[in-house]
A and B are shown apart, each in its own frame.
Chain A
Amino acid sequence: MKSLKLIVGGTIAATAALSTFAMAGETVDSIKAKGYVQCGANTALAGFSAPTSEGKWEGLDIDLCHAVAAAILGDASKARFTPLTAAQRFTALQSKEVDLLARNTTWTLSRDTKVGLNFAGVNYYDGQGFMVAKASGITSATELDGATVCIEPGTTTELNLADYFRAQGMSFEPVVIENAVEAVQTFFSGRCDVYTTDASGLASYRQTAPNPDDFMVLPEIISKEPLGPAVRHGDEEFADIVRWTHIAMLEAEEKGITSANVDTFKKDSKDPGIQRLLGTTGDMGKALGVSDDWAYNIIKQVGNYGESFDRNVKAKLGLERGLNALWTDGGLMYPAPIR
């Protein structure tokens, strides 16, 4: 028993020690030395991080990673991807297998503290919703008492569902199916009354139904899922670069700068905000520890946030901007000033 305690104690100590290492600047230096950014990506989530038929990685999270490579190394193609499962992702980051976790990870308090992550912003606001068959006559989630629900196990989805039904004083019968694709097909075949996952997923899955008009997504969103990139706790310099890379992409969209017209802006713009962003005046890049044309490289090689959203999330999943629109369009994307 004593030795078992020792082993368990040792494990906890080792985990704690690893998760609280301070490594200021180390990651950026190692990225510059090895010449590429190693990103942890989702094994496959269309629109966010998924390989194409040619085996090339594409998605909103993938673009962010390319943008970080453009900011630090000046070349967006210098990003490599390690596909990670939900269970592996935090260990992979802590053990330095990857530099950056861009894998649709929900920003929560416990992950920001005891898991040892450092979230560098939110690049997609998601939330959990419900899909039902129109024939059922259900129009609101409050009418779901006693429903059978198809879900995938081991995700926050499952926990949110239980929380929501308990809070509403309703009961449900879970039908747990390991794989999302099969869970959805099971729902379409009528085995369950409801299918639940993040709203971005519901919209795209509905498109794959034999007849999409037979199904509808209920208006209620029962959870907040701010998804964002994460770095190791204590890795402030690198966290700053990732955070401002995302902000630069938002700022570019707000100012109307795209990958196509960025050169014109760089040459002609008299707007001091744009000049600072593109590095023609000021030394914003130096403050971050990268070259002054960092944001120019991001916009030129990857594009602004809107471009990335349109070619990934919108093109693949058919989703509109919604909460992810700029604040000027009534969304939540509000870039902090670059000055």
Chain B
Amino acid sequence: MSNVAIKPPSQGGIVNWMKENLFSNKLNTVISIICIYFIVKFLVGVVDWGILNAVFAADASACKAASDGACWGIISEKYRFIIFGTYPADEQLRPLIAMVWFVGLIVCSLHRSFWKLWLIPLWVASLIGLGVLMWGGVLGLSYVENTQWGGLPLTLMLSVVGTVAAFPLGILLALGRRSELPLIRVWCVAFIELVRGVPLISVLFMASVMFPLFLPEGVTIDKLLRAQIGIILFTSAYLAEVFRGGLQAVPKGQYEAAAAMGLTYWQTMRVVVMPQALRIVIPPTVNSFISMFKDTSLVLIIGLFDLLATAKVAITDPVWRAFYIEVYIFVAAIYFVFCYSMASYANNLETELRKGEQH
């Protein structure tokens, strides 16, 4: 009996964990104590500044008096402008509805049980509906030209429309780059390398400053549309390379098996290759989407009021100019919510789709 191996005594509990990981020897103990001291000091500082000494009322003089606290009053005063930009104040319910609808539509579209064919007409109908809601001019809604759009709805629109349009374009470019027809291949390679060779800022600059000069007399293409097309082309070039990576990772045997079964090129791609390739590239694809979502803030340089631009405009108000840190924190929080949701969704999707591989 005495030879039976006994289980080591239970080492559970936070105290034991700390003993093992933080205070296992003298050096570790010293380092841990120093780190804990600074972390606590930092957290106390943040709470003091952000909550205890902070001013929440939209009163600039109260904010100035409370010099060691945050001034969330600027958010109370400016949140409408930061979120909706120069969209007329009486009509702001419209972009709000549009935004909620848009986000709802996206969340639904992301769930697997909604992946049916009717999703496509639903998207088309929704986009038309959103256009009507944002522009107005019919059904008793007053007309709001799109130079007045701004803030979060604009950021969402630029990035979601950019994503939805760039995704299929990216797939086509990736397939084109691997095509055996030289003309198509050369075209796709040239496009991808050209676009990847220049920064997004210069694409937007070309679209907004140079492009109008080449149009015939009297023809103008909307500034927003030009920026949107620029973003779509730019993103599609990057996605194309991501998808090409996925296509290369699919074993050659899969192509040969599909060919042996007599599937055509498009059947092979649609049924056999693409589903596998796209699953492989979920992490880099989401990476591209997240970086595109943040890149839309570059439209600031062509005078479009996206979320970051409205924040920057809000702090040019002389009364509130000193409280720019609070505004940046507010905007960073909004960006974080969206980017983090995208990342977590991608993680879930990956686990979900990998279920087939678990044995």
Contacts and interface: CB of A to CB of B under 8 A. Distances in A.
B213 A15 contact: yes
B134 interface: no
Interface string B15-32: 000000000000000000
Interface stretch (A46-54, A164-172, A321-329): A46-54
8 contacts: A21-B217, A53-B80, A54-B80, A55-B148, A96-B220, A97-B212, A179-B312, A317-B318
Nearest to A50: B316
A45 B321 CA distance: 12
B318 A95 contact: no
Contacts of A57: 86
Nearest to A19: B213
B324 A185 contact: yes
A316 B318 contact: yes
Interface residues of A, number: 45
Given A43-B303, A46-B316, A91-B213, A82 B147 contact: yes
Contacts of A83: 86, 147, 303, 305
B58 to A, nearest CB: 9
A182 B324 CA distance: 9
Interface stretch (A155-163, A203-211, A238-246): A203-211
Contacts of A18: 213, 217
Interface string B271-291: 000000000000000000000
Interface in B183-231: 205, 208-210, 212-215, 217-218, 220, 223
A55 B147 contact: no
Interface in B300-359: 301-303, 305, 309, 312-318, 321-322, 324
A204 B89 contact: no
Contacts of A179: 312
A266 interface: no
A195 interface: no
A61 B66 CA distance: 35
- Chain B facing A: main interface SS: helix
Contacts of B145: 80
Interface of A: 11, 14-15, 18, 21, 43-47, 50-57, 80-85, 87-88, 91-92, 94-97, 179-182, 184-185, 204-205, 207-208, 210, 316-317
A181 B314 CA distance: 11
Given A43-B303, A46-B317, A87-B301, 9 more contacts: A11-B213, A15-B213, A81-B86, A81-B147, A88-B208, A96-B220, A181-B321, A208-B322, A317-B318
Contacts of B223: 82, 97
Nearest to B67: A210
B210 to A, nearest CB: 8
B316 A88 contact: no
A51 B318 contact: no
A43 B303 CA distance: 6
Contact of B302 (A44, A50, A88, A182): A88
B251 interface: no
A56 B87 CA distance: 8
A53 B208 CA distance: 27
Contacts of B84: 55
A88 B303 contact: yes
Nearest to A94: B213
Nearest to B64: A210
Given A88-B303, A208-B322, A95 B215 contact: yes
B77 interface: yes
A28 to B, nearest CB: 15
B303 A82 contact: yes
B152 to A, nearest CB: 13
Interface in B83-102: 84-89
A95 B67 CA distance: 48
Nearest to A180: B316
A98 to B, nearest CB: 10
Contacts of A43: 303, 305, 309, 313
A55 B309 contact: no
Contacts of A53: 77-78, 80-81, 314, 317
A281 to B, nearest CB: 40
A333 to B, nearest CB: 24
The 5 closest A-B pairs by CB, nearest first: A95-B212, A44-B313, A54-B89, A44-B316, A55-B86
A91 B209 CA distance: 6
Interface centre among B84, B212, B312, B318 (most CB of A within 10 A): B318
A85 B318 contact: no
A51 B313 contact: yes
B310 to A, nearest CB: 8
Contacts of B150: 55
Nearest to B304: A83
B209 A87 contact: yes
A108 B27 CA distance: 69
Nearest to B316: A44
A204 B212 CA distance: 36
Interface centre among A85, A182, A204 (most CB of B within 10 A): A85
A276 B208 CA distance: 44
Contacts of A204: 318
B147 A80 contact: yes
Contact of A14 (B213, B220, B313): B213
B288 to A, nearest CB: 26
B321 to A, nearest CB: 4
A287 B88 CA distance: 37
Contacts of A317: 318
